A and B are shown apart, each in its own frame.
Chain A
Amino acid sequence: MSNPVKGSKSWPRQLLRLAFVLAAALGCGFILTAMVSAEPVKAYGALLTGAWPDFGWSEDGSFTARRITRLGSLIEDATTLTLVGLAVAIPFRARQFSMGADGQLFLGALAAAAVSLHVSGPSILVIPAACLAAMTIGFLFGLFPGILKARFDANEIVTTLMLNVIAVQLYRLAITDWMRDPKGGFITTPPLPDAATLTSLLMRTNVSWMALVAICAAIGAWLLIKRTTIGYEITVVGENPKFAAQVGIPVAKATALSMAVGGLFSGLAGFHISNGLLKALPVDLPPGLGFEGIVVALLARNNPLAIPLVAILYAYLRVGAQVMERSSDVTREMVLIIQAFIILFVVAERFGPTFIVNWLGKRALKERTA
């Protein structure tokens, strides 16, 4: 089995393939849309351009920007996606299929909210404390399946999926039984105090400095992978574990740490969701963000520096999908279908222009000889 993770091809060819995959996935989505929608072109137009804010000059010459909230939700979404993308990419580099990003994110959000609600003080103290709590929980919740894999060879897909169930139930238990706002109409925590929430940088949106933190996190992850010993060990273990063991690399340590570092980024994403976006935790967070992280990591070929760019691209599609849902008869779940096609086409290594040409050529040859 080949590693879905490595990018041995040259840059231009990779970009070309990426463009081909995106076009193919969007094309498949369009065919489906055309089959059910009365106005497929309009719907797809909304999907592809909906995320753009309207810049322009009004008649009296002043600069105006409309639909700026869409830009806001794009940046918010891209921030979360960058962090969960990193959370998936680091274990992927060690060839660990950690599915635990969801659970780590839930618990990170829970820890951040708990600290924010129970620690009072100036925001310069509370916010780092909440952030640290979220990252620690994420780290530990990644380290645990990592140790189980490294020490006991317990399949990481199964353990992380099971830990997700445990994390989600723990989250629900904590919100309903321990942290519930008695005054709230539905099950939710009290709103986080102002000192703990992140200030908005853009009017009427929740864009905060977490967007910059996410970019720094990507750079940090790149430095970790490319410029440190443990990063090198993680990469070698992912590429060839037998070779790594032969040359004396601590395989178990690298495996466990890759999953723990992934958890750290998930926890940070949880902090962003709780203190930056929602500012009070409901009993149900949107599940499946961990799986979105897989798309981002795959498209970026696990290169941390490419992850923010892919996250923006993907957030663009997601915001566009919401616009499409509002302005046409196609639901936003269309973007899930496109996402699935992207995953399938990216990992299908032999899928590409050459494969289709060869396949058609072979068929033509067969027909000629027959």
Chain B
Amino acid sequence: MNIELIGWGTFFATLLAAILRASAPIILPALGGLVSDLAGSVNVALEGIMLIAAFFGVLASAYSAIWFPTVPTWVHPWVGLVAGLSGGVLVAGLLAVFHLELGADLIVAGIGINILAAGLTVFLLVSITGDKGSTATLTSFALPCLHIPFVDHIPVLGTVLNGDGFAGHNIIVYVSLLAAPALAWLLYRTRFGLRLRAVGENRDAALAAGVSVKRMQYAAMLLSGVLASLGGIFLGMGYLTLFQADMTGGRGFLALAAVFLGGRRPLGTFIAAVVFGASTVFAARLGAYEIPSQVVFMLPPALTIIALVFFNIQRRRKIERRVSRVAATLPQAG
């Protein structure tokens, strides 16, 4: 095979592997945002849930090693995973309770949760480690990477499947890739999904049809919490192996935008999240050229706004067409 071709192939494969890595912490919360959005409750708190999950995941994995030194090392990251998931889901549950039981406005309460997460993580970080920036003083653990055997020697494919250093991708990267089809199946092929979407489409009709609306809203919010938590855990136990203050860096908000950019569909949301992930990779790589990285960072949000306007125009046209079609079939009056 042509050497130059392999070189380019490897270059793009490295790029693809990097995009996969950068996209995973956006794909997962974006799918979480999609679930709650389809159930009719916009989850603005994705950012906060991620932050809490990352914090408790990292901390639990570190303290698991300190408190139980005799346990084999591979256990610690899983302890972290469980702790991070519990923390994130707890926060999502808190938001749900405030909205559904105490009548709080979901959006404002979601903002409150984000502020709570930002404050609480730094507050506990300082109290526990004495450092305001990160948990660098603690030894925390990363979740294992999944190394696919036998493909290392196949030029391009090996780099895509096992990353640049052939160490394999983190297990959560695979979870993020599988989550989109799994979620599509859950939402569009099961009774649970149908009911969930019915609640989002028309609450009163769902209630009249005998769907337990409140229970579905709780389920959607908690599932949203699980997915967002996984994204946060990946940041602290895969993407990096420590917790930094504000380490989500607006990914939760990007995820929220990805739901809208993707037209509120699983595949669309997935693609939108990958576009966001890719832009961070390109912004880092284009720094070597004359293009300022800030301009690259501006593109996805600009794209989101344009897409949002485009989708809404299209939706309006569709409704108009449907109305005129119905009007044409009706017997002409007068």
Taking Cβ atoms with an 8 Å cutoff, the residues of A that contact B are 1-2, 4, 32, 36-37, 97, 99, 148, 152-155, 157-159, 161-163, 165-166, 169-170, 172-173, 176-177, 288, 291, 294, 298, 329-331, 333-337, 339-341, 343-344, 347-351, 355
Residues from chain B with Cβ under 8 Å of A154 in the complex: 305, 308-309, 312
| Residue pair A177, B308 in contact (C-beta under 8 Å) | no
Known: A148-B305, A155-B260, A344-B112. A349 touches B123 (CB 8 A): no
B127 near A36: Cβ-Cβ < 8 Å: yes
A315 to B313, CA, bound (A): 44
Q: Is the CB of A32 within 8 A of B98?
A: no
For the complex of A and B, list the 4 residue pairs with the smallest distance between their C-beta atoms, beginning with the closest: A336-B119, A340-B116, A343-B112, A162-B301
Which residues in B have their C-beta under 8 angstroms from that of A335? 119
Q: How far is the CB of B265 from chain A (nearest CB, A)?
A: 16
User: Are the C-beta atoms of A155 and B119 separated by less than 8 Å?
Assistant: no
Query: Which stretch of B80-88, B225-233, B290-298 is in the interface?
Result: B290-298
A334 touches B119 (CB 8 A): yes
Which of chain A's residues have a CB closer than 8 A to the CB of B243? none
- Contact between chains at A343 and B292 (CB < 8 Å): no
**Are A334 and B104 in contact, with the CB atoms below 8 A?**
no
B39 within 8 A of A: no
Are B105's CB and A166's CB within 8 A?
A: no
How far, in angstroms, from A176 to B115 measured CA to CA in the complex?
Answer: 29
B71 at the interface (CB under 8 A from A): no
B126 and A331 contact, CB distance less than 8 A = yes
Q: Are B108 and A298 in contact (CB under 8 A)?
A: yes
Q: Which of B165-173, B183-191, B250-258 contacts A (4 or more CB under 8 A)?
A: B250-258
B104:A348 contact, CB within 8 angstroms:
yes
Complex: A153 Cα to B98 Cα, angstroms: 28
- Taking a contact as CB atoms under 8 Å apart, the answer to whether A159 and B112 are in contact is no
Contact residues of B between 284 and 306, Cβ < 8 Å to A: 292, 294-295, 297-298, 301-302, 304-305
Known: A341-B116, A343-B111. A331 touches B101 (CB 8 A): no
Given contacts A148-B305, A154-B312, A162-B305, contact A333 B119 (CB under 8 A): yes
Choose from B127, B256, B312 the contact partner of A152 (Cβ within 8 Å): B312
B-side interface residues toward A, CB under 8 Å? 42, 44, 98, 101-109, 111-116, 118-120, 122-124, 126-127, 132, 250, 253, 256-257, 260, 292, 294-295, 297-298, 301-302, 304-305, 308-309, 312-313, 316
Given contacts A169-B295, A336-B123, 4 further A-B contacts (CB under 8 A): A157-B42, A333-B126, A340-B115, A343-B112
Minimum CB–CB distance for B109 against chain A, Å: 6
B14 CB to closest chain A CB (Å) equals 26
A157 with B107: CB separation less than 8 A: yes
Q: Are A2 and B105 touching (Cβ within 8 A)?
A: yes
A347 and B111 CA atoms in complex are apart in Å by 11
Q: What residues of chain B lie closer than 8 Å to A336, measured between beta carbons? A: 115-116, 118-119, 122-123
List the B side residues contacting A148 at CB < 8 Å: 305, 308-309
Contact B313 A152 (CB under 8 A): yes
Is the pair A153, B304 in contact by a Cβ cutoff of 8 Å? no
Q: How far is the CA of A330 from the CA of B127 in the complex (A)?
A: 7
Q: Are A4 and B102 in contact (CB under 8 A)?
A: no
Task: Compute how far the CA of A347 lies from the CA of B122 in the bound complex, rounded to whole angstroms.
Answer: 25
CA distance in complex: A334, B122 (Å)? 9
In the complex, the answer to whether A157 meets B44 with C-beta atoms within 8 Å is yes
With the chains together, A155 CA to B298 CA distance in Å? 19
CA distance A173 to B256 in the complex (A): 25
Given A336-B119, A339-B115, A350-B102: A163 in contact with B301 (beta carbons within 8 A): yes
Contact at B123–A334, with CB atoms within 8 Å? yes
- Residues on B with C-beta less than 8 A from A155 are 260, 308
Query: Contact between A166 and B302 (Cβ–Cβ < 8 Å)?
Result: yes
Partner of A340, one of B119, B124, B294, B297: B119
On whether the beta carbons of B42 and A163 are closer than 8 Å, the reply is no
Residue on B nearest A336 in the bound complex, by CB: B119
B115 touches A347 (CB 8 A): no
Interface pairs (15), CB distance under 8 Å = A36-B127, A148-B305, A162-B302, A173-B295, A334-B119, A337-B116, A337-B120, A339-B119, A340-B115, A340-B119, A343-B109, A344-B98, A348-B98, A349-B102, A349-B103
